Structure 1
């Protein structure tokens, strides 16, 4: 019976920790293709519990690794004039945007780079925005990483749009806010194991 209770307590701890540990990187590596083509993906893409929506006319796409404009890592493309990409949790929960990798759509051919506007809707209904600039790079030389501070926490959704030229994006680092049941499972597991520890007989006592 005691072993069963210990197993249950450990199970609560494991499940609670898994639900609470929500740091995630969307890297699109499941879309990797070793060719020189452009692959259309449709207007909506889901990875690791997050949904990316393309609000433009043309769908999301990726470059195969042999394409001359491949960034060095599989990235998603919104190839629309002033195209808007929106990111949110499938569960409609709260999350934070920590960082994102970006590179121009045609590395080596866009000397002015690209300006991208990020607009975030926070759960308190306030809206914040930030403009970043992507420098042009040679094909295959990799992307630039842009980090976001505490103002991009407690988000319901975040979107970004092209102001000039187009871009590829990759390695979106996001953190979901744990739901209350995650903490409940952790506390239940700790409480059960603590109670069992207190009931353990002391050495040398009958």
Structure 2
């Protein structure tokens, strides 16, 4: 009986911890944004249910994007994806159209660069995947209008302080139960 209680407490203490750090992949497709149409500027809140806002970009469909043929393209000013809560790293699928260049850069909440990727597609389309490390709060990308794209974004939530509090409370209950068990023996 006591071991069942201990196992239940252990499971509860880890349940909140594992759920908070799950990854989310945003495909920027028309399922996620049914109001998007090819070449339309994004308003910014189309992907708010995923915890991001987008500015200075437009939505595209293009068969050369071999990831999923849809995504966000940069406008004349830098495209910006702002996360509503900091991510423990971020991964993008990008592509730059032949004859152009693109730069992708991640920033923390103080707008300090966490690293950048410069892509030169002077000799043909360049597609790839790049991961940024650290506490990512936003991603910006630049390039000639319509020639630098982000096809997919994967972000991971950073566990909130409440999650750690639940973990510590669960471990405290386990310690209490173990100590009580020793006293009863």
Distance 1:163 1:24 in 2: 29
TM-score by length of 1: 0.63
2:105 is the alignment partner of 1:118:
yes
Q: CA RMSD in A?
A: 3.8
Task: Output one character per residue of 1:139-179: Cα deviation in whole Å (capped at 9) or x when no partner.
Answer: xxx93112334xxx234323222246513312323333322
Counterpart selection for 2:164 from 168, 175, 183: 183
Ranges in structure 1 where 5+ consecutive residues have no aligned partner: 105-109
Partner of 1:161: 142
Distance 2:38 2:9 in 1: 49
2:147 is the alignment partner of 1:147:
no
2:68 is the alignment partner of 1:73:
yes
Displacement after TM superposition at 1:14 (Å): 0.8
Q: How does 1:1-206 map to 2 (within 5 A)?
A: 7=8, 10-19=11-20, 21-28=21-28, 31=31, 38=38, 40=40, 42-44=42-44, 45-46=46-47, 49-55=50-56, 60-63=58-61, 68-78=63-73, 80=75, 82-90=76-84, 93-104=85-96, 110-118=97-105, 120=107, 122-124=108-110, 126-127=112-113, 130-133=116-119, 135=121, 136-137=124-125, 143-149=127-133, 153-163=134-144, 166-200=147-181
Distance 2:14 2:118 in 1: 41
Displacement after TM superposition at 1:70 (Å): 4.4
Task: Output one character per residue of 1:8-28: Cα deviation in whole Å (capped at 9) or x when no partner.
Answer: 663343123212x24333234
Ranges in structure 2 where 5+ consecutive residues have no aligned partner: none
Displacement after TM superposition at 1:78 (Å): 2.3
How many residues are matched?
177
Displacement after TM superposition at 1:201 (Å): 7.0
Displacement after TM superposition at 1:103 (Å): 1.5
Aligned-partner SS, 2:47: strand
